[in-house]
């Protein structure tokens, strides 16, 4: 398992700052998402599902972000390309933690509802369930709370 504090300090915070999408709420939501989705341990969905990386994003979701969001948000797309984050290689979701982090943040950026307050862990759990794990996902807000609460206290 990746050390959550190092993941925060060396991956999440610098990546969000590099793409100008840092906020404490975003940082905490992404760490909670990663720890809930993969335990910061698995880089491929268990049971041979399609989800990849610590955020367990499906390649189809990443492709959709590029084709239906970044294509119309050129300043952000240019920032992504500046860091060699290209949509044609969704395998980066597995091995490029900065790419996976940026893609997770952009996934949440597409949601019209604002992020929960940085200290509202229950709000983050519900936000993650509704907008990331979705109604069809196996996760629950309780999973987020149980897995992420201690990590988010770092």
Alpha helix stretches (DSSP H) within the chain = 4-7, 13-18, 24-38, 59-68, 74-82, 92-95, 97-109, 121-128, 141-152
Give me the chain's average pLDDT, please.
93
> Is residue 89 predicted with pLDDT exceeding 80?
no
Domains of the chain, by residue range, sit at: 4-152
pLDDT exceeding 70 applies to what percent of the chain? 96
Q: How many CB atoms lie within 10 A of CB 124?
A: 27
pLDDT for residue 103: 95
151 pLDDT band, cuts 50/70/90, is confident
Give the tens place of pLDDT for each residue, 23-69.
999 999 999 999 999 999 999 999 889 999 999 999 999 999 999 99
Give the tens place of pLDDT for each residue, 68-87.
999 999 999 999 887 766 66
pLDDT for residue 154: 58
pLDDT for residue 87: 62
Burial class (CB in 10 A: 0-12, 13-18, 19+), 68: exposed
pLDDT for residue 1: 87
């Amino acid at each position: 398992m990746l050390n959550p504090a190092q993941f925060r300090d060396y991956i999440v915070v610098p990546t969000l700052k590099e793409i100008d999408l840092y906020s404490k709420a975003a940082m905490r939501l992404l760490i909670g998402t990663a720890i809930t989705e993969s335990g910061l341990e698995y880089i491929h969905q268990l049971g041979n599902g399609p989800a990849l990386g610590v955020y367990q994003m499906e390649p189809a979701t990443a492709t959709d972000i590029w084709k239906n969001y970044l294509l119309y948000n050129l300043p952000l797309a240019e920032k992504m390309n500046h860091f060699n984050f290209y949509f044609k290689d969704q395998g980066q979701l597995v091995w490029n933690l900065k790419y996976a982090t940026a893609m997770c943040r952009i996934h949440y950026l597409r949601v019209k509802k604002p992020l929960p307050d940085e200290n509202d862990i229950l709000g983050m759990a519900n936000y993650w369930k509704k907008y990331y794990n979705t109604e069809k996902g196996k996760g629950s807000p309780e999973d987020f709370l149980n897995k992420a609460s201690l990590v988010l206290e770092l």
